[in-house]
Structure 1
Amino acid sequence: MNETYTAVAGFAQTWGLLYFVILFAIVVAYALWPKNRKSFDDAAQIPLRED
């Protein structure tokens, strides 16, 4: 059983890290994509608007 746990833990660490790195890269690319700039600039100004 210990060998199975070690194998599963190694798999999860390796592929989990890869999964989160790819997910992070996708989120950063989405946030920095030029097409999305206007919507993010508008959202950033919401707290400064007066009702």
Structure 2
Amino acid sequence: MDLTHDITVWFSKSFGLFYLLALSAAVLVYVYWPSNKARFDEAATSILREEDRPWR
């Protein structure tokens, strides 16, 4: 089989597409996994605590 430029470009575009789709799916699964809710809630409210305010 002759490895031409068109085949190489097609393969790299296809691989990149499926790689980004899989990576996006993995990030969405991680974000919406139920056991991560407490960690994300803690991070969202950590900047609002009393001890984290500037010194007066």
Task: Please indicate the TM-score interval, normalised by the length of the shorter structure.
Answer: 0.7 to 0.9
What TM-score do you get using the length of structure 2 for normalisation? 0.73
What TM-score do you get using the length of structure 1 for normalisation? 0.79
Which ranges of structure 1 fall in alignment gaps of 5 or more residues?
Answer: none
More helix by share: 1
In the other structure, the counterpart of 1:8 is 8
Question: 1:50 aligned to 2:50?
Answer: yes
C-alpha displacement of 1:6? 1.5
In the other structure, the counterpart of 1:36 is 36
Which ranges of structure 2 fall in alignment gaps of 5 or more residues?
Answer: 52-56
Instruction: Work out the CA distance in 2 between the residues paired with 1:10 and 1:45.
Output: 46
Larger radius of gyration: 2
Deviations 1:24-51 (A, max 9, x none): 0001100000000000111111333333
Q: Over the residues paired in the alignment, what is the CA RMSD in angstroms?
A: 1.5
Tell me how many residue pairs correspond in the alignment.
49
